[in-house]
Chains A and B, each alone.
Chain A
Amino acid sequence: MAKFSLFSEESNRSPLSRLWRKFKSNHPALVGLWVFVALTLLAITAPFIAPYGINQQHGDALLLPPSWHDLGDVRFILGTDDLGRDVLSRLMNGATYTFGLSIIAALVTTLIGVVLGTFAGISKGLRSSLLNHLLDITLSIPSLLLAIIIIAVLGPGLLNTVWAIIFALLPQHVHSVRNLVVEELSKDYISAFRLDGASKLQILVRGVLPNIYEHIVVIFTMALSTAILDIAALGFLKLGAQPPTTEWGAILAENLSLIYLAPWTVGLPGVLLFIAVLSTNLVGDGLRQVLKGRKVD
């Protein structure tokens, strides 16, 4: 890190476009972003573009291997399961449940986290402590156990697991948003802004939030990768999505007994989960690196 750069070039681009330029130069992160966008599109459009219905059974084509296999059939590109359902269609629809619902869960978590965190950040003393530690108890309850309790109270189901995941993720995000806000509030430009007579709301909206929203996006990606893994894990334990819902973890659990006969029905949902989490983490890591580099500038 050089203190003086001899060939300094004035850069008048907006922070966002500078962020994008730096992000673009990190190729794995860029690939991750494209995969992420593709999965999001798939999650939205899957019911319309899937070749078959999720519960459409083909009695003449049970347990067909993927089409590149000698015994495969080109009608079913990724093969069929024991009820003759097209694996490709089921996996495509799974994106809606696993990926789409995770995005919603992560968005809700981030939103509530930002609201509670900023309030904790701008208040002082006991009130700040209270807001900050209000949900701390769920930090000490392992997320799966919390999900089990919520399921015990409300009954199993996909939506209940989403609530469980939101509750489990929330306290960490409240803490990190609060730390961001407190750190930003202690900076000189905020003091100058305050001396200019800005109200608390103005400081928050004009001063703090524009400077931390990129960090909030990083927090969002962290929440998202955890949410995907948790939804799938709960589906796998038969506590979340119930079959015939096409959640990836649930598909995996449903086909577990076929692991010898038809390994593709177990392997493929796992591969998709892996890709989804990996792309999210790549984007998050790329963003974090750019933000870290910006501090050095």
Chain B
Amino acid sequence: MLFEYLLRRLSLLLFMVFTLTVFTFSLSYLFPGELLANVSGQVNPSFSQSQQLTEKYHLNEGVIVQYLAFLQRILHGDWGVSLSSGQSVFDHVVKLFPATLELCVYALGVAILVGIPSGIVASAYHKRWPEKVINSLSLLGFSVPIFWLALLLIMIFCLGLGLFPMSGRIGLLYEVEPISNFILLDIVLQGFPYQGLAFVDALHHLALPTIVLAMYPTTVLIRFTRDSMLDVLEQNYIKTARAKGLNRRQLIMHHALRNALLPVIKQIGLQFSTLITLAMITEVIFSWPGVGRWLIDSIYQRDYPAIQGGLLAVSMFVILANMLAEFSHTLFDPISRNQAHGKV
């Protein structure tokens, strides 16, 4: 049963990756501008150069040959050259993606730490004031436009109170050697340079973007956890447990929680796509040097190879994150294996 399920999932994964690569490949035809420039990132090549490039990218041959060559290049890490910086797109992605990932992971961590307990509290106090307060707050957080929230927080905490810095990952005073490109990890790896002040400064820089980015996933998790808990608490086995004389605390801790949190695992994985959209906006506002800001700069500069590379990296990441969440959900929850067979 599990094997069949995995097989179905895997075929869906392959299908997704296939459509993604075809879509990315066809973009060099769809984007305005010359095909050769879009593919190679070389603007105005000389005659011999363009001959060479045409040869390299198989532009004289059929579309299928071109697509296969494209796949080969992607696998070898040759993602073309950025039109605006003249450097390899792959290097850009490797350098910038960890910054975005770092922000997303911390935001998701905050969302999990705040969202799930609040959801549990809300369901435990169903139809009483704690639930009402949590519900209203989550609805407010759910509805606030993220860029406006970011501006408000900047106005209050940066311009008004001066508590947090407005932009960047770390103060200009500190120089941290990029090893893994995750800034906190880098600082730890270098043994807390500047007597730990760099670490504190990096945390200060992280605070506001993380709060802004965490707002939406937190509210989603609160609502989802609460709904899932309420569903479980309606079940008959909970009534049985209650009839046996368990108090509410035991009921929730030992019986309801495990089953209620199963769908939440899946939901966490599904958050990544939205999270990256929101991260792009957050990065622009807080000048966070991540892949989102780079992509938005690329569209301003009409840097097509960069957009292609960014699309490929980000979407592959989202697909893998979704699959991982799905797999872990299936591992933990045998029922979902039986009924669904990987049909969504």
Contacts and interface: CB of A to CB of B under 8 A. Distances in A.
Interface of A: 1, 129, 132-133, 136-137, 139-145, 148-149, 151-153, 155, 175, 225, 229, 232-233, 236-239, 249, 252, 256, 259-260, 263, 266, 270, 273-274, 277-278, 280-282, 285
B155 A140 contact: no
A141 B311 contact: yes
B107 to A, nearest CB: 14
A281 B143 CA distance: 7
B23 A137 contact: yes
B273 A1 contact: no
20 contacts: A1-B234, A133-B344, A136-B12, A137-B19, A137-B20, A137-B23, A142-B276, A143-B274, A145-B276, A145-B310, A145-B314, A152-B302, A225-B143, A239-B296, A249-B145, A252-B148, A270-B148, A281-B139, A282-B139, A285-B139
B42 interface: no
A140 B319 contact: yes
Nearest to B136: A28
Contacts of B140: 278
Given A142-B277, A281-B142, A236 B147 contact: yes
A132 B15 CA distance: 13
Q: Which among B314, B343, B344 has the highest number of chain A CB atoms within 10 Å?
A: B344
A149 B27 contact: yes
A252 B307 CA distance: 26
Nearest to A179: B344
A259 B300 CA distance: 23
A270 B145 contact: yes
Contacts of B307: 148-149, 152
Contacts of A266: 151
Nearest to B23: A137
B299 A148 contact: yes
Contacts of B147: 232-233, 236, 249, 252
Given A142-B318, A282-B139, A273 B145 contact: yes
Q: Is the interface of B mostly helix, strand, loop or mixed?
A: helix
Interface string B105-149: 000000000000000000000000000000000011011111110
A163 B30 CA distance: 16
Nearest to B8: A129
Interface in B211-238: 234
Interface of B: 12, 15-16, 19-20, 23, 27, 30-32, 139-140, 142-148, 151-152, 155, 159, 234, 273-274, 276-277, 280-281, 284, 292, 295-296, 299-300, 302, 304, 307, 310-311, 314-315, 318-319, 322, 343-344
B93 to A, nearest CB: 13
A293 B165 CA distance: 48
A155 B299 CA distance: 10
A152 B304 contact: yes
A153 B24 CA distance: 12
A266 B155 CA distance: 11
Given A274-B145, A281-B142, 7 more contacts: A133-B344, A137-B19, A141-B273, A144-B280, A145-B280, A153-B30, A252-B148
Contacts of B32: 153, 155
Contacts of A249: 145, 147
